[in-house]
Amino acid sequence: MASNIQLDASGGYSFRMPSDDITVEAVLDTPYSVLIDENIENGSISISTNKAAQGSVVKIVPTANDGFVLEKISGSGVDIKAGVDALGEKAYTFTMPKHDVTLTAAFISNADISAAAPSGAAVKYGTAAGVYDLDESPKYTAAGTYTVYYRITADGYETKTGAAQVIISTNGDVDLNGVIEKADAALLLKYLGGTATLNEKQLAAARMTDSTKEKPDMLDVIAIIAIVEAPQS
Ligand SMILES: [Ca+2]
């Protein structure tokens, strides 16, 4: 190894050639890649840099789509810390290790509030703004639109409050499989024609046009078809 390397006035390096062959080696601060998982759904993350040297700090900014909240950010072989940056914005950072890092994030529907809280957080719920007297989100079964208020507290975090709407409807999902489809109208038609039976819950789901009438009828079939045929927003 050449041990007499000198920085010259022009910024170059020079050394006195010894009598033997030599190897010159440059050791750079090799940057590693910061990659983002392509399969992130319901939101995205951006990063302050996609190349970083070991020991440098990389910042991550998550953006949730409407109706979703960030549940979790993680990266391969790194410990991601949540904090607040110099501008007071919530920021996620990690220290670059000596290898490439792939980041991923999970976003969940904000209807599922309890799962959105960071681990160790306490979540309280209420049915009026400012009143957080329930340990669990209230459950509704009667048709209607309800607002659930929530407050999340955790050590080291700003207390967060918010509200989410819960809509319970007699919605035309006659077969109760979670989606309103032509099959629901078909099943109701069969019921009306006497070739299928429906239980109480299914009958309630089928009574779309007037929840007080005793039995669903043809108007409900039409109402279900109207929903199925409606353009998706
Ligand atoms: Ca259905």
CA–centroid distance, 41 to ligand 1, in Å, is 25
Assess if residue 60 is contained within a domain: no
Q: What is the mean pLDDT of residues 106-113?
A: 70
Kindly report, residue by residue over 118-164, the tens digit of the pLDDT.
Answer: 667 788 888 887 888 988 877 766 666 677 888 888 877 778 888 87
Please state the rounded mean pLDDT for residues 68-87.
Answer: 80
C-alpha distances out from residue 171 to 1, 105, 139, 166, 184, Å: 79, 33, 18, 14, 10
What is the distance in A from the centroid of ligand 1 to the CA of 39?
28
Is 140 a member of any domain?
yes
Give a yes or no: residue 91 inside a domain: no
Q: Is residue 28 part of a domain?
A: no
Q: How far is the CA of 226 from the centre of ligand 1 (A)?
A: 14
163 in any annotated domain: yes
C-alpha 176 to ligand 1 mean position (Å): 5
> What's the gap in Å between 222 CA and the centre of ligand 1?
15
- Write the pLDDT tens digit of every residue in 181-210: 899 999 999 999 999 999 988 888 898 877
Return d(Cα 44, Cα 70) in angstroms, integer: 9
Based on its alpha-carbon atoms, the radius of gyration of the chain, rounded to whole angstroms, reads 30
32 within a domain of the structure (yes/no): no
Rounded CA gap, 90 and 127, in Å?
Answer: 28
In a domain, 66, yes or no: no
Q: Is the pLDDT of residue 172 over 70?
A: yes
Domain that holds residue 139: 120-168
pLDDT at 183: 93
Distance 225 CA to ligand 1 centre (A): 12
Q: How far is the CA of 180 from the centre of ligand 1 (A)?
A: 4
Nearest to 125 by CA among 148, 100, 158, 145: 148
- Using the CB atoms, write b or e for 82-97: b if 16+ within 10 Å: eeeeeeeeebbbbebb
CA distances, 73 to each of 78, 103, 139, 200, 213 (Å): 11, 7, 29, 43, 50
- Evaluate if pTM is beyond 0.85: no
Residue 233 clears pLDDT 60, i.e. is over it: no
More confident residue, 62 or 35: 35
> What CA dihedral angle connects 166, 66, 230 and 204, to 10 degrees?
-10
Q: Is the pLDDT of residue 93 over 70?
A: yes
Residue 132 lies in a domain: yes
Domain total of the chain: 2
Whole-number Å distance, alpha carbon 46 to ligand 1 midpoint, is: 38
